[in-house]
């Protein structure tokens, strides 16, 4: 695998792993959260499934791009960048559109 391709895979793995967190947290707390499966009406169980699928996919991809080598290199930076890009997008989109908010936040 080329270095460029490995970094792209690590970036995607970071995106997937970061995307799993709000869905898994939503599932644990019993709330609803937007998913591509059922939209804004996704139940905690759908979020658990979606979050788990993202986490498994992200970890499998990270394992693949790691290549069994003992140390990370620029791939770790790419993974972290993928997670940071997702977190920034999620915070910005939620602040702008309030898709996952219940609407009772007065802060």
Any domain includes 104: no
User: Which position has the higher pLDDT, 103 or 84?
Assistant: 84
Q: What's phi and psi for 35, nearest 5 deg?
A: -135, 160
Any domain includes 107: no
The answer, yes or no, to whether residue 105 has pLDDT greater than 60, is no
Any domain includes 40: yes
Any domain includes 51: yes
Any domain includes 32: yes
For residue range 47-79, what is the model confidence (pLDDT) as tens digits? Answer: 999 999 999 999 999 999 987 767 778 999 999
For residue range 35-45, what is the model confidence (pLDDT) as tens digits? Answer: 999 888 899 99
Task: Report how many domains make up the chain.
Answer: 1
> Residue 14's domain spans which residues?
3-97
If one counts every other C-beta atom within 10 angstroms of the C-beta of residue 84, the result is 13
- DSSP codes joined into one string, 63-106: HHHHTT-SS--HHHHHHHHHHHHHHHHHHHHHHHH-SS--S---
Taking each continuous run of H as one helix and of E as one strand, the counts in the chain are: 3, 0
């Amino acid at each position: 695998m080329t270095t460029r391709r490995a970094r792209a895979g690590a970036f995607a793995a970071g995106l997937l792993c970061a995307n799993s967190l709000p869905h898994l947290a939503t599932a644990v707390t019993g709330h609803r959260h937007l998913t591509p499966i059922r939209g804004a009406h996704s139940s905690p169980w759908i979020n658990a499934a979606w979050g788990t699928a993202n986490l498994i996919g992200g970890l499998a991809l990270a394992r693949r791009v790691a290549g069994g080598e003992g140390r990370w290199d620029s791939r770790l930076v790419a993974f972290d960048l993928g997670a940071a890009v997702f977190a920034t997008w999620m915070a910005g989109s939620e602040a702008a559109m309030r898709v996952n908010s219940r609407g009772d936040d007065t802060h």
